[in-house]
Amino acid sequence: MELILSKVFTLCCGPSSAPDIPIFKHFRAVWAGIVHNDYRILDLKEGCENFQQSTLQFLTEMLGSGRQIRDDYQELIELTMVILGSLPQAIHWRSPGPVHHARWMAKLLNAMKIILFRDQRDVFQLTKAEETRLERFVQFGALLHS
């Protein structure tokens, strides 16, 4: 699945020869200025309701199963629930870490955070094209990859 997500990221955001991803590096630099309770969920297109509901049901079951979940997967579950409009009991906002091309989950985690906080333009500004590309990637990651 990580190969698929990596390919989707390249299709949505374009190829890069840099060792890191500049938009994620910049977002990490401004993280301290982000207001964590000021976010906006993903704007889903009509027809995504079944994907949204089944994803949220699956993630709720995962959280309620009592199984030990690795920290990065826990963060992915929580962010996916938030971005799809369902708040888990607690949100543990972790600061963005380094993102290299090989870290597929970090790409999705950082893209979700950028989309959630995209309206905080005084701290972090996206072009409309960047926002559209990241929204497409996040929509795929949240609805189809989970």
pLDDT tens track for 61-99: 888 888 888 888 888 999 999 999 997 777 888 988 776
Q: How far apart are CA 51 and CA 16, in angstroms?
A: 30
Residue 14 region by backbone torsions, left for phi larger than 0, else alpha for psi between -120 and 50, else beta: left
At 62 the pLDDT is 86
Which residues make Cβ contacts (< 8 Å) with residue 31, sequence separation at least 6? 95, 96
Among 33-47, 63-77, 127-141, the minimum mean pLDDT is found in 63-77
Q: What angle do CA 114, 48, 111 make, to 5 degrees?
A: 15
Q: How far apart are CA 22 and CA 17, in angstroms?
A: 11
For 7, the token pair is 């390919």
pTM reported for the whole predicted model: 0.89
DSSP-derived letter for residue 83 is: H
Q: Which residues constitute the domain of residue 65?
A: 2-145
The domain tally of the chain equals: 1
